[in-house]
Structure 1
Amino acid sequence: MATEVLTTYTETDPNSKIAVTTSRATWTSLARNEDAYVYFDKGVAFFDGDFVIEFDLHTILSETDAQFVWCALANVVDDFRGIEINSEDMQGVRFSRPAAAGASFRAILTEIDGGTRREATVITLTHLTNYYLKFYRDESVGTFGTIYLVVYSDAARTVIVSSVALGLATSKKDFRYIYAIMSANQGTTKATSGWTQNFEISTTIATALQVSTQAMTVITATTATGNGAIDDTGISSVTAHGHAWNTSVDPVTGDNNVDNGAGSLGVFTSSITGLLDGQKYYVRAYATNTEGTVYGANVVFTSGVGGGGTQLIPGNLSVVQNRLHWVGHDDGRERFIEGTLVP
């Protein structure tokens, strides 16, 4: 995804509370009752399906009862209150610091549907901390689609602070304008200061938990080392990960497994023990989060004394009793290839 150039956005800011550079929008003492925003016209129905918007966030300070919007999609040029009272539509992520919040503030995933406001469970965050947000929509989930907010503590977006979802209410919505910041324009003069930066937009999503199985190493008569990788953590933290194995294809955690506990993006290993010498085994890497448990492809190996075990690796070809055998990339299953005479 390419980073949005914010200097190409249009800024409405009568009291000069917002400063925009190529990749950052900084707000200084932006009051709740300001009428200010920074937006870009992407064209009619640009956001007409799935999308992902990522951006970084840092809030320096805020007064009690301060409110505004960090990022939003809409079909009109207006502030938050104007969209709501004029019965327009909006989907976005907004900021609020109620009196009960103390030193913290809230990130709120919000939909305005024909002027009716709906919100997901709030995420509580802390001032003077860098956060990395992913705001996205998946139209395959729910009757009219679902929007999500995932907050990470690292720029690589591997460690999840919290995540929420909100099913959309009455109809599918397409949007034209993206806002890098939008004031509330209601209520008090309570203000906040901070910045958002590095806005990136994609119209495809890859949010499912994904894991891959890699080749086995250090194979002995009774032990082996399983290798794998968590390629995408999905929308919630990985609570379990490891390898499952069995003597039949497609092993699951209910067969035999090593559970390495909570995991994060990247490679991992598992110490597999209790094998029988000379036995053929199927192994799959797995990971679990709130979406469920997912598995990588099968890797097949045979245990052997003194490290003499063998394995079949996806993509490999071999000759067995005058037949050419191939191991599939997707499922790790071994197949023989029937020959066709070449004229």
Structure 2
Amino acid sequence: DYFVDATSGDDAKDGLSEANAWKTISKVDAASFSAGDTISFNRGDIWRESLTPPSAGSSGSPITFGAYGTGDKPQINGANLVTTWTPEGGIEDFTTFTEVDPGSDIVVTAAKIAATTLTDSQDAHVYDDKGADHFTTGWSHDFEITISGPDFATAGGWAISNVIDDVEFWRANSSQAVFVAFEITATNAVRVYFSSPEDSSEVTFNSIDESTKYFFTVDITTATNVRCRIWSDSDRASLVTTLNVTVTSGRKWRYLFGINSWPISGGQLNIDVENMDIGEETANVWQAALTTDPGSVVVLDGTFGTKETAIANLNTANEWFWAANILYVFSTSDPDTAFTSPGIETPIRGNLIAVASKDFITLLNLDVRVGDIGVNSSGTSTQTIIDNLTIQFTNAGGIQWTSSGISTIQNCTVLRTNKDTTSNGGVNFGGNDDSTVTDTEIAFSGGRGLHYSGSGSSGFVHVTGGSFHDHATGEADGIGVSGGTLDDGGVIIDGCALYTNIGPGQGEGIQMTGATNFIIRNCTIYGNLQGIQLDGPVLGGEISYNIIRDNDLHGMTPALNNTNKLKVYNNTFWSNGGSSGGGHVNFTSAPSFEVEFRNNIFAGPTEPVAAPTLKSTFCQSVRIAQGILETMPAIIIKLIPLPMPYSSICSPSHIKKMVPAVMVMTPIIIASPPMPG
């Protein structure tokens, strides 16, 4: 056995004991294993890597990737943490400014304006028109300035960094207001001018050093005073000096300028203006650089975030928006300190576990999260067992299985995979594989929870137990089968709970297209748009012993071009279609195939079967209407041979099993009319 410990491990060791555990998954991926080996990951640890099993097992001796120790499942995580958050709007995007630069003397990036060749008087500047009276009282603005250049030591000359009016702020309907200017002095230093020429107010500071970044804060402190503070550090804790100028009372400000030039007689200066924050932050919205589109997945301290479509929509905890390489989140305090368990995560890795043409692999007791696909298989990978995995927060699927092999999924939880897209998000089988899914929960995913897309005439999928619920985008089905013609046992869905699958205009507990020999039995199907939808060609099947209740539109909609008999017996249809005017069983037109209804119970205000003319055998079904148990007349249009006079005794226990809300104290005998001949 091999051991992997993300906290205390060492890849230089042999990995053959807990004391000599390896540290990284990359070490595991590079190793070679023998059939029957077990590779165990320490519980409670997190690996921000992906796993690719490097070797195959054999029949009876799989290679197992599992867990040891105590605590949470070991976590294979495809995300990095997003850090270094600032208030949204705090940093101006200079690339959105208007640039006036006929001599190509200015280089503009998102957070920086660089005047690189200022040698004479020229009209070179950038600006952003914020609109008349945009800045009123109480504003405060930060920016950073660095001055350098080949002629920094040349005496005389002027240069100006126009970060405050004719320069940064320009009073509406006035020529100029307050600005910051820089002069090269006779002693080869730089003097700062903080000036309001309109009000004949000006102060200076004589000690700006070359190639040193200074941090400015300019704010209006009273109706007649504007203050400029110069700091030596980004935290604005070490104050260099404070300058104040007097302005006209009641002044309002319109324009934001970035940089401009004045005559320079002594040579060239380079002036950089960076990280301008003009105090227009959206309340409780923060931003951080993120160059990779997170798709639909941002996780905040283990909680799946809600994706919004604009910054303005961020007003509730865990909401986020991404655009132009910036991630925005709602938070009432700095996310760097508000989210630390483990933080804000976005996916950067694709397949978190990739089983590529490796047979007899077992994945056991792992937590797989935040990536494109949780577990992915390609090529031919047979006899793969996925047992007790938690898979969540992925963009393109929880388990994607395109191999033509046998696979088993059991005791797994697959949540919030592919949530905001229309393709198949939970578990997706493609190809001619033989697959079993047992006691697995698949929920809150995009498209279908479990999807089998057959491409040939062999293979099967058997689903036993488990729950499939709350799919709300795309097809929004709990279980969907489409494509191909399955044989070899076909599709069996047994003992499952399928509920609250409702998308935009669609959403079925079970949706079946192109299946042979299917069986749907012992399931509880409720709260969906439709309980069961059969789209042709569906070549025969059995629907039995199910409780189908409280589905918005219909309990069941059979396909219209089915060529084999559909058997529907011993089911309870309860209160379907009540909110949408549908019914228990819906034929949109006369079916061209034989449907055998037998021993079903219909309860609720809707008609059991809606169809123009039934070409079916509707025999021995019971309806409960307005609290009264009654026998419906048998409809016999297409005769079927019966081995004996057809009758049924519904015992009290039978009624209680099929409809728990109904208590019957005496046996009820239900008999069809005599069969002709």
TM (norm. structure 2) is 0.26
Q: More strand per residue: 1 or 2? A: 1
Return the structure number with greater relative CO, CA threshold 8 A, min gap 6. 1
TM (norm. structure 1) is 0.50
